[in-house]
A and B are shown apart, each in its own frame.
Chain A
Amino acid sequence: MNKPIYGVMAEFDNPSSLVGAARAAREKGYRKLDAYSPFPIEELSDALHLHKNKLPLLVLIGGIVGGTLGYMLQYFVTVMYYPINVGGRPLHSWPAYIIITFETTILFAALTAVFGMLGLCGLPMPYHPVFNVPRFALASRNRFFLCIESTDPLFDRDKTCEFLETLEPREVSEVAH
């Protein structure tokens, strides 16, 4: 029974209890914790201080890169690589470039948003210790879980379990690696 574990996990049956528990755990000083819910909960992000992430910046960069590349591609082709003289009109016909520049901006920004999201979440991740808890299958249905991880400096197998029990969960279980 003394094998190292991933953490301990408490199960709740409604989102309000989960948010309350997450706040209590933060107040108690736990920092390495994560909550699992079947839908996004705004208050939970507040409780766990999760509101800042780098995704908007990444998407902005992606959009700028896409727009620049799109414009440069058109400039290169119509001015340098394959110039077509139409009645002496300027080769650098920027109004005609607007649409494709816009499209490549959106395309690159959207690709960055999706792959950036996956990257920041560390997905795809086929294996994760929380899946070892049989009841965790309900996290995608109607149950709410709070997991305090063993890497937390305050983590103590028994004390953390006892603390979680005080939050009136349905069940507390250990998460094996």
Chain B
Amino acid sequence: MANEPPVIDSPESKKIIAPGYTFGTITDQIASVVLTKKTPYVVMGTFAVAMGLLLIFLLAVGLLFTKGLGVWGLRGPTMWAWDITNFVWWVGIGHAGTLISAILLLLNQQWRNSINRFAEAMTIFAVACAGMFPILHLGRPWLMYWLFPYPNTMGIEPNFRSPLVWDVFAVSTYATVSLLFWYVGLMPDLATLRDRSEHRALKVTYGFLAMGWRGSAKHWAVYETASLLLAGLATPLVLSVHTVVSLDFTVGIVPGWHSTFFPPYFVAGAIYSGFAMVLALAIPLRSIYGLKGLITAKHLDNAAKVMMATGLIVGYSYIMEAFSAWYGGNVYEQAAMWNRMTGPYKYHYWVLIACNVIAPNALWFKKVRSNTVVLFIWSLIVLVGMWLERFVIIVASLAQDNLPSSWRVFESTRWDWATYLGTIGLFLVLFMLFIRLLPMISIFEVRTLLPQAKIKEDSRG
């Protein structure tokens, strides 16, 4: 707005967002994505494709319900395959959102302010997609509530010594806390949308969701405490979720699974794939909606660095996995590792090594990190690599377990593909509805990044 004071302070040395923004222009730019009637054609087109994939998902699930799990390629001994691979992949993707919203908040990394909102949304939708797979894999999904302890006439309860029950608690807690954290973060921005929208129905809807937020200093004080506490609670939570997922494997005695370093290895892999998804979403979003001043090259650079660092941890884990299989002296572990590298899944294995160990090293170079097209392609490579990693861990270990007479190479069916691609459709549909209906960048947190938001102390009254 013209009557706002101009920026007189010299911009801070570390510029997070582009200079020249005011409280008003930030608000208008982010809110206008939601409050306009226009949707860019690219978004419409992608939404149509995503909707198509979602319909395929519904078809695949319908078939699964009527015919049973045999429509997937599950045959003994490989009774966990694409379903659990997809589950681990999707849960892992969610981790970056919580890392950005919780851990980076505690570390006072202010660049997170313009990417945390959509990264948290990504988390929630990724966890929703992840949750599909174990439930569909139950065989009788309509009895999924048996997983929870509740007083029942059957006189039985879940086995609390089983990692699969731990997983139920870990993932459902994670989903709940992520949703709450996200909603709390949205409240002040919902109030902005309520005050900015002109249509009565919109005002009422956003007003209802904003719960009467009015930006009172008394509220902000409690709100800041709540945000910090939630971040503190979500930080151990995010590290625990993939730990518990990895316990699903390590507690089993299958060669290739039974290993103590899976928890940190899985957590690093989760953050690695999550940042890849953040980049894969942020790069198109910022150019479609002209948000390059808010999601700047600095953000992409930082995200790429985090991706590379966690990628190197993952690479180290692969080396340690092979080393400990060899050095441990257990013939079954050695055989499982050898089969992984040279057996029927060798192509998967070496492609994943190329994607996860070799490819991220390109990110050492600033030229790669600053080229958005290359960075976008690289994030897709990482996503593919991380899917293959989980596939190899799960399927290659199961298909050739302790008993060679039962060995069988897994073959996926078209319904495996349909279910997997279907959840990508579900994810994109949810994500695009979010982009259209809610502010994708946290408006109030970006306002705090402006130089004008700093209190000048000479104004002491």
Residues of A within 8 A of B (CB): 13-17, 19-24, 27, 34-45, 48, 50-51, 53, 55-56, 59, 63, 73-74, 77-78, 81-82, 84, 86, 93, 96-97, 99-100, 102-104, 106-107, 109-111, 113-114, 116-118, 120-121, 123-128, 130-131, 136-142, 167
Contacts and interface: CB of A to CB of B under 8 A. Distances in A.
A77 B5 contact: no
B311 to A, nearest CB: 28
Interface in B207-241: 207-208, 211-226, 229-230, 233-234, 236-237, 240
A151 B199 CA distance: 35
Report, as a range, how many residues of chain B touch the other chain.
35 or more
A131 B156 CA distance: 55
A138 to B, nearest CB: 7
Contact of B160 (A43, A74, A131): A74
B38 interface: no
Interface string B166-208: 1001100100110011011000100110111000000000011
A44 B455 CA distance: 9
Contacts of A102: 236, 240
A36 B166 contact: no
Contacts of A53: 221-222, 225
A141 B195 contact: yes
B211 A55 contact: no
A48 B217 contact: yes
B225 A55 contact: yes
Interface stretch (B53-61, B327-335, B358-366, B440-448): B440-448
Given A117-B225, A140-B27, 7 more contacts: A23-B461, A40-B224, A56-B225, A99-B170, A100-B166, A110-B230, A111-B180
B444 to A, nearest CB: 5
Given A142-B4, A142-B23, A51 B222 contact: no
Contacts of B236: 102, 106
A21 to B, nearest CB: 6
Nearest to A45: B221
Contact of A138 (B184, B195, B237, B240): B195
B24 interface: yes
A73 B216 CA distance: 41
B172 to A, nearest CB: 8
A39 B445 contact: yes
B223 A56 contact: no
A114 B461 contact: no
Give 9 closest A-B pairs by Cβ, nearest first: A24-B461, A142-B23, A124-B211, A117-B226, A125-B212, A20-B459, A50-B221, A137-B195, A40-B220
B339 interface: no
A81 B151 CA distance: 11
Contacts of B221: 40, 45, 50-51, 53
Contacts of B220: 37, 39-41, 44-45
Contacts of A27: 461
Nearest to A97: B160
B244 interface: yes
Contacts of A124: 211-212
